């Protein structure tokens, strides 16, 4: 929309390819999961990956904060989502050059790109949407820890929805409610977690993760000091084929271990782990499931992008990946869920997995993180970055050799740290455990840049952050990757050099943080 505004467009119509959006096997809703062609997807409108309240950038949207009066978001031109059948009629009236073949799956119609219309036609657009200020509320329930009340484990989900929201985010909400009910039963029996648990119900996720972002902005220093981990339960179940996990690689061993302990609805001999491994094998090692370290859009983004809190997102759905066609439409209802999880067995399994992760993170004396998994992921990322950007880095005299050396030093320090951790007896050396926990809790936060990623106002995670460089979407090192994107269009290669320096310095700080006398 911003690009259209900058090119003097009069309006923007969002359409979805009727052929691809409604394709697939089976019957049309309500007899199957395929969509009627006239049903459009509904999306929240934001400028790129900017999140939170746009009127209070980098500040909480509380009453005491100054609000901007003139902002570039949203672009000041009409925007409307159009049903596929109406859109196709409009597209057929476009004149000009022929539409490239890879722009549509409909090869039966002669589409044109415009900008003129056939026979000098015009059409009138009326948009009745209103822009208004609305107060939102996050709901936070706290169970204070018995021994480490200043160490927080957070678990959350948003409660708003584009339409009826049975999958997004009712599936996660149901799991959150059941999990919190179970914790409540334990509390009645006198149990208390070792660390503090915070149950979080976020508002306004669909409009740019506003509720979670404002919470992080309001509590950033406390989160960096106290937060151990955040567990996200958004679209917890949107299919019945396999688990999908995205998160910080320090938590991969924890998820592997706990997913082996939960039975999968596919059969009495199956665990969530075994089905996960078969459905999504790791391309680098097929004896284990794939664990994604690159991000998708949900409320955990502000936690790890702004505060560096190790985060994890749990989903159960299709293989390889794909949300239901009814996602963000009026058909996202209980009836849709009943088609793939009629007895809520997958919801129950996912909630059990989330409960086990929450218990381990909040109750084990030694935080169940693995530094070696992080350094292994970092080395892979640096190797991929060197490979795909080699030509342009060399042309501008930019080397990653010193960065790579520092990664190797960090890996060595990580191995030493894990050796010390494995040799430490919690019963006889509780003070050493406290030191180890403090180092692990702070480790990931050291990769938060002191300044925003280039051309971004919110994102600061230098290693596993979301990159706007869509040429190579699976490569992170977001600071360097996004700096390359900016440099290629502006010629400002000093930005890349600065991001290399910031990343190198962050890795050095992380290495030093692992040193134990």
Q: What is the pLDDT of residue 358?
A: 99
DSSP readout, 110-147? --B-BSSBGGG------------------EEEEE--SS
Is pLDDT of 131 > 50?
yes
Q: How far apart are CA 66 and CA 325, in angstroms?
A: 41
Is pLDDT of 1 > 90?
no
Is pLDDT of 21 > 70?
no
CATH, domain range 1-129: 3.50.30.30
Q: How far apart are CA 480 and CA 502, in angstroms?
A: 9
The SS3 of residue 13 is strand
Mean pLDDT rounded to a whole number for the chain? 91
What average pLDDT score do residues 323-338 get? 88
DSSP readout, 409-461? HHHHHHHHHHHHHHH--TTT-HHHHHHHHHHHHHHGGGGB-SSPPTT-SS--B
CB atoms near residue 42 (< 10 Å)? 15
What average pLDDT score do residues 223-228 get? 99
Secondary structure in 3-state letters for 248-266: CHHHHHHHHHHHCCCECCC
Per domain, the residue ranges of the chain are 1-129, 139-363, 371-514
Question: Looking at 15-24, 67-76, 154-163, which range is the least confident one?
Answer: 15-24
Query: When comparing pLDDT for 87 and 181, which is higher?
Result: 181
Cα dihedral 211→330→236→294 (10° resolution): -70
Q: How far apart are CA 272 and CA 510, in angstroms?
A: 33
What average pLDDT score do residues 252-277 get? 98
Q: How far apart are CA 184 and CA 201, in angstroms?
A: 16
Q: 318, 345, 236: which is closest to 26 by C-alpha?
A: 318
Which residue spans within 291-374 are E strands per DSSP? 311-317
Q: 404, 418, 317, 326: which is closest to 370 by C-alpha?
A: 418
- 371-514 has the same fold as 139-363: no
Per the listing, tokens 């678990």 go with 155
The secondary structure of residue 14, as a DSSP letter, is E
Could you say which architecture CATH assigns to the domain 139-363?
Answer: 3-Layer(aba) Sandwich (3.40)
Query: When comparing pLDDT for 73 and 398, which is higher?
Result: 398
pTM exceeds 0.75:
yes
Q: What is the pLDDT of residue 22?
A: 47
Which residue spans within 168-284 are E strands per DSSP? 195-202, 227-232, 242-247, 281-282
Is the CB of residue 213 less than 8 Å from the CB of residue 52? yes
| Cβ neighbours of residue 240 closer than 8 Å, sequence gap 6 or more | 265, 316, 317, 340, 341, 346
Instruction: Note if the bond before 320 is cis, omega within 30 degrees.
Output: yes
Is the CB of residue 199 less than 8 Å from the CB of residue 152? no
The secondary structure of residue 45, as a DSSP letter, is -
What average pLDDT score do residues 138-156 get? 98
Q: How far apart are CA 106 and CA 85, in angstroms?
A: 13
Which contacts of 15-18 are long-range, i.e. CB under 8 A and separated by 24 or more positions?
A: 15/40, 15/81, 15/82, 15/84, 15/87, 15/91, 16/40, 16/41, 16/84, 16/87, 17/84, 17/104, 17/105, 17/106, 18/84, 18/85, 18/87, 18/88, 18/106
Share of the chain above pLDDT 70, in %: 92
Render pLDDT for 39-98 as a digit per residue (tens, 0 to 9).
666 666 666 668 999 899 999 999 999 999 877 666 678 888 887 778 888 888 999 998
Quick one: pLDDT band at residue 495, thresholds 50, 70, 90? very high
DSSP readout, 95-114? -BSBPPGGG-S--SS--B-B
CATH topology assigned to domain 371-514: Transcription Elongation Factor S-II; Chain A (1.20.930)
Query: When comparing pLDDT for 158 and 331, which is higher?
Result: 158
């Amino acid at each position: 929309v911003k690009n259209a505004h900058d090119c003097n467009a009069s309006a923007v119509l969002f359409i979805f390819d009727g052929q691809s959006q409604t394709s697939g096997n089976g019957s049309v809703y309500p007899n199957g999961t395929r969509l009627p062609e006239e049903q459009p997807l509904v999306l929240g409108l934001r400028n790129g990956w900017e999140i939170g309240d746009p009127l209070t950038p980098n500040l909480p949207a509380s009453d005491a904060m100054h609000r901007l009066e003139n902002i570039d978001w949203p672009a000041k031109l009409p925007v409307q989502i159009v049903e596929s059948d109406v859109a196709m009629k409009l597209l057929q009236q476009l004149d000009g050059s022929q539409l490239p073949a890879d722009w549509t799956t409909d090869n039966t119609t002669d589409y044109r790109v415009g900008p003129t219309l056939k026979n000098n036609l015009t059409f009138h657009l009326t948009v009745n949407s209103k822009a208004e200020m609305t107060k939102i509320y996050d709901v936070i329930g706290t169970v204070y820890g018995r021994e480490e009340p200043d160490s927080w484990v957070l678990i959350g989900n948003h409660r708003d929805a584009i339409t009826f929201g049975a999958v997004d985010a009712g599936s996660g909400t149901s799991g959150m409610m059941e999990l919190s009910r179970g914790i409540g039963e334990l509390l009645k029996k006198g149990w208390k977690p070792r660390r503090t648990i915070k149950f979080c119900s976020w508002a306004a996720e669909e409009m740019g993760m506003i509720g979670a972002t404002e919470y992080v902005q309001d509590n950033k220093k406390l989160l960096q000091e106290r937060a151990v981990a955040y567990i996200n339960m958004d679209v917890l179940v949107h299919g019945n084929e396999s688990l999908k996990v995205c998160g910080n690689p320090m938590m991969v061993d924890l998820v592997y271990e706990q997913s082996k302990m939960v039975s999968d609805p596919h059969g009495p001999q199956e665990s969530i782990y075994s089905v996960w491994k078969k459905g999504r094998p790791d391309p680098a090692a097929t004896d284990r499931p794939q664990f994604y370290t690159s991000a998708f859009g949900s409320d955990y983004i502000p936690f790890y992008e702004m505060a560096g809190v190790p985060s994890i997102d749990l989903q159960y759905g299709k293989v390889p990946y794909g949300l239901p066609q009814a996602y963000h439409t009026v058909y996202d209802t209980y009836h849709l869920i009943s088609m793939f999880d009629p007895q809520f067995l997958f919801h129950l399994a996912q909630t059990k997995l989330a409960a086990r992760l929450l218990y381990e993170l909040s109750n084990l004396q030694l935080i169940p993180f693995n530094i070696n998994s992080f350094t292994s992921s970092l080395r892979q990322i640096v190797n991929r970055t060197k490979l795909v950007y080699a030509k342009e880095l060399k042309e501008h005299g930019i080397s990653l050799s010193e960065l790579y050396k520092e990664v190797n030093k960090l890996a060595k320090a990580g191995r030493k740290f894990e050796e010390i951790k494995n040799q430490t007896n919690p019963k006889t050396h509780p003070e050493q455990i406290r030191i180890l926990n403090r180092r692990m809790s702070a480790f990931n936060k050291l990769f938060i840049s002191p300044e925003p990623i280039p051309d971004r106002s919110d994102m600061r995670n230098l290693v596993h952050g979301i990159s706007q460089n869509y040429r190579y979407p699976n490569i992170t090192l977001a600071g360097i990757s996004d700096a390359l994107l900016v440099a290629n269009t502006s010629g400002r290669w000093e930005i890349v050099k600065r991001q290399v320096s910031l990343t190198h310095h962050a890795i050095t700080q992380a290495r030093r943080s692992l040193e134990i006398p």
